[in-house]
Amino acid sequence: IFDLQALEHVNARLLELYPDDEERFDIVLMTNNHAQVGVRLINSINHYGLTIERFCMTGGESPIGYLTAYLTNLYLSADSEKVQEAIEAGIASATMFTANKDVAYSDTQLRVAFDGDAVIFSDESEQIVKEHGLDRFFEHEQLNENKPLAQGPLKGFLEDLGKLQKKFYAKNERLNCPIRTYLVTARSAASSGARVLKTLRSWGLEIDEALFLAGAPKGPILVKIRPHIFFDDQMFHIEGAQKLGTIAAHVPYGVAQKYRKS
């Protein structure tokens, strides 16, 4: 459900620029199937022309315990229970949802879109919204504009993408960089956007595009961006993205999960 061609294009470009450097995307297929299923999986991967060299087949046991050993930067699964287990183990993780209609994606530029609160950042601000309302949230953000937000579960993955981007920048390939990142947040730029941008700056992270929607639906913006994957902590944003053709991934982290379950 995730288009790997853009990942493989990034790897090919990195190999051209840095032939002796192994810092590239490395895909590991993890499954709790038995090893006997391996031949069928290998045949399927070869049929689709995918470059996946590493398998982890756990014979009915959860693969989550192996994520640290594999130095996993991001774990994606359709199994929400395993994703929750990975998040609780401190590993960036999200539950994948396919799009409800086919959309053409770029094969030459990997585009990754992130929500802000409870994804890149902690859920500190969302707690204020849920418990005290929007007016208190706006007041809180303005008072704390110069205090960086704490990091969220996918901050490290954004950082990893940034490291790869800088490899292209170092070779004067900024304009032709095959990785592009997007912040797509329900925050308003005027009332609560400054803290987000200052937090990224304090971390030494760049985001290519920041879209502050002030509560407007995210789906139509994502149609324009056409990201290969969009991360959000709230299912109604995931569902809105799905309907309009975006592959979305739910990050089960923060106060929104408590309200969703209740």
Chain segment 61-98, per-residue pLDDT in tens: 888 889 988 899 999 999 999 999 999 999 999 999 98
pLDDT digits (tens, 9 = 90+) for 182-212: 999 999 998 889 999 999 999 999 999 999 9
Residue 255 has pLDDT above 80, yes or no: no
* Residue (of 86, 63, 71) closest to 23 by Cα position: 71
Question: Torsion over CA of 192, 154, 251 and 115, rounded to 10 degrees?
Answer: 30
Residue 222 has pLDDT above 90, yes or no: yes
Residue 36 has pLDDT above 90, yes or no: no
**Taking the domains of the chain in order of start, what are their residue ranges?**
4-96, 110-259
Beta bridge partners of 151: 121
pLDDT digits (tens, 9 = 90+) for 119-136: 999 998 888 888 888 888
Give the per-residue pLDDT at 175: 93
CB under 8 Å to 189, separation ≥6 — which residues? 212, 214
> For the residues 48-66, what does the mean pLDDT come to?
83
How far, in Å, CA of 171 to CA of 17, rounded?
Answer: 8
Give the per-residue pLDDT at 63: 85
Angle value at C-alpha 18, between 16 and 21, nearest 5 degrees: 130
Q: What is the CATH code of the structural domain delimited by 110-259? A: 3.40.50.1000
- Of 3, 79, 115, 208, which residue is the catalytic one? 115
Asked whether this chain's domains 4-96 and 110-259 adopt the same fold, the reply is: yes
Percent share of the chain, pLDDT over 90: 64
Residue 38 has pLDDT above 80, yes or no: no
Q: Which CATH number fits domain 4-96: 3.40.50, 3.40.1000, 3.40.1350, 3.30.300?
A: 3.40.50
Q: What is the DSSP string of the chain?
A: ----HHHHHHHHHHHHH-TT---S---EEEESS-GGGHHHHHHHHHHTT----EEEE-TTS-GGGGTTTTT-S-EEES-HHHHHHHHHTT--EEEEE--SS-----SSSEEEEE-TBTTTB-SHHHHHHHHH-HHHHHHHHHHTTTSPPPB-TTHHHHHHHHHHHHHHHTTT-STT-SEEEEEEESS-IIIIIHHHHHHHHHHT---SEEEE-TT--SHHHHHHH--SEEEES-HHHHHHHHHTT--EEE---SHHHHHHH-
Bridge-based pairing state of the strands 93-97 and 110-114: unpaired
Give the per-residue pLDDT at 260: 61
Q: Using a cut of 0.75, tell me whether the model's pTM lies above it.
A: yes
How far, in Å, CA of 222 to CA of 114, rounded?
Answer: 11
> Does the annotation count 102 as an active-site position?
no
How far, in Å, CA of 167 to CA of 181, rounded?
Answer: 15
> For the residues 169-184, what does the mean pLDDT come to?
96
How far, in Å, CA of 103 to CA of 226, rounded?
Answer: 8
Give the per-residue pLDDT at 37: 77
Give the per-residue pLDDT at 49: 76
Give the per-residue pLDDT at 2: 59
Query: Would you place residue 30 in the very low, low, confident or very high pLDDT band (cuts 50, 70, 90)?
Result: confident
Give the per-residue pLDDT at 187: 92
CB under 8 Å to 162, separation ≥6 — which residues? 181, 205, 206
Query: Would you place residue 48 in the very low, low, confident or very high pLDDT band (cuts 50, 70, 90)?
Result: confident
Choice among 13-27, 42-56, 164-178 with the minimum mean pLDDT? 42-56
